[in-house]
Amino acid sequence: QKEVEQNSGPLSVPEGAIASLNCTYSDRGSQSFFWYRQYSGKSPELIMSIYSNGDKEDGRFTAQLNKASQYVSLLIRDSQPSDSATYLCAVTLNPHGQNFVFGPGTRLSVLP
C-alpha cells in the first residue's frame, strides 16, 4: 500500500514567518516529488517539483528531499496571508503521470 503522509494541520504562522510543511512516503522506489497548493474551491496548482536529494529553491519556496529518510518538505519564507491554502504533497514512481499518490494535505493559515 503506497502511502503519503503529511503533518496534520491546520498550521498557523504569523505573517513574515517561515512555514514548514512536512511529508513522508512509504514507497522507497518513489522517483518524483511534488508540492501543490490548493485554495479553497479551486483546483491544485503546482508549486515545486524535486527529484534529487537536497534543496531546491524557487523564490520564497524551498523544497527539501531526503530519500534515505523518505522525507520531503516545503519551506515558505516570509509567509504572506495569500499563502493561506491547503498544501498537497504528491509522490510518484513514474514521472509520466501514472501512480501519483497524494497526501491528505496540510492547511496553512498565515495570520496578518
Binding site for other proteins (CB under 8 A): 32, 34, 42-46, 49, 88, 90, 95-98, 100, 102-105
Smaller CB separation from other proteins, 17 or 61: 61
CB 32 within 8 A of CB 97: no
C-alpha distances in Å from residue 38, one per residue of 3, 34, 94, 111: 20, 13, 23, 18
Task: State which residue, 43 or 52, has the beta carbon closest to other proteins.
Answer: 43
β-sheet bridge partners, residue 101: 91
Q: Is 81 helix (H, G, I), strand (E, B) or coil?
A: helix
Shortest reach from residue 78's CB to other proteins, in Å? 25
Residue 81 backbone phi and psi in degrees, to 5: -55, -30
Instruction: State in angstroms the smallest separation of the CB of 97 from other proteins.
Output: 3
- Report, in Å, the least distance between residue 43 CB and other proteins: 4
Q: Which is nearer to other proteins, 43 or 112 (CB)?
A: 43
Q: How far is the CB of 83 from other proteins (least distance, A)?
A: 19
CA distance 6 to 9: 9
